[in-house]
A and B are shown apart, each in its own frame.
Chain A
Amino acid sequence: MIYIDIIILTLLAVTAVTVARIRDLWAAVMFTGIYSFLGASWMLLLDAPDVAFTEAAVGAGISTVLLLVTLALTSKTEKTSTSVPFVPLLVVIGTGAALIYGTLDMPHFGDPSAPVHTHPNPGFVERSQPDMHGLPNVVTAVLASYRGYDTLGETAVIFTAGIGVLLILRREKKSANTDDSTTEGTA
């Protein structure tokens, strides 16, 4: 089991570095899709099938389509710069070192007594059964019932973003009189 973990994590790291290095934007978008898919695979191993499905559908699916549509409307290659980005590299290494120092106090992977497992009283898992009339999936029960208002707010966010995309792209229609049916479809 741990070998699958290690293979997936190595592939994730390699894919991320490839995305950072590659100049062809089309290839970068494809690698982002691969990255999302590998992330979804690891989520499945981490007992989160709901998140894995969503990540595969949204991260590897919709996000890739949106990026490809944007590429079709803009340009496909990134301008190459000759200077080596020393400052960003230093910032990233510094931040990464600080974060790794922070993980030394974290509960170990899979530790059942970690605070995240004990602190909101886990009785809600049992209680979700009668509350949701025998719905077996606890994730769905929490998302749709206990955090129902939050999910409603999330829908409002999607709605707002959709309106925002439409408004931003509508101005183009007025001024340039181009057909934006493809871009409207992405909203």
Chain B
Amino acid sequence: MTVAASLGDLVRDIEDPELPHVTIGDLGIVRSVTIHGATATVLLTPTYTGCPATEQIREDVADAVRSAGLEPDVRLVISPAWSTDWITERGHQRLLAAGIAPPPPADEPGVTFVDPPVACPRCSSRRTRLISHFGGTACKATYVCNACSEPFEFFKAL
């Protein structure tokens, strides 16, 4: 394995500070890891423009690069815009395991005003209802399950 590839694995294994056990590799926000001499350049794509976790992730990535004995150069690139479609299959499973309903495929940005049916991450019932379009973070909406009465979060398609 090349140095860049093993550093890439190290970076992609960093956990998101706000999503338990979901790595930034699972989220698909690591665009590239390249090494030139003693410097490792990591390109990250923020999920939401104002996501406060972005700064923490930047620092975590810089720490990981330093732990590999390299000088970090961590940059944010916003284009192409991140989509929830970039979340890996393992990411979906980990979200589900954390009690967060994973996102359906993202459509073209549009406003249909129809809220999608969401299956409860605990009991799988589709008899759920929307509480709020936002949750503890901008990327999630708050739902409650009518079958098992558990409130849960839903990772919105973006």
Partners in one complex: no
Q: Which residues of B contact A (CB under 8 A)?
A: none
Q: Which residues of A contact B (CB under 8 A)?
A: none
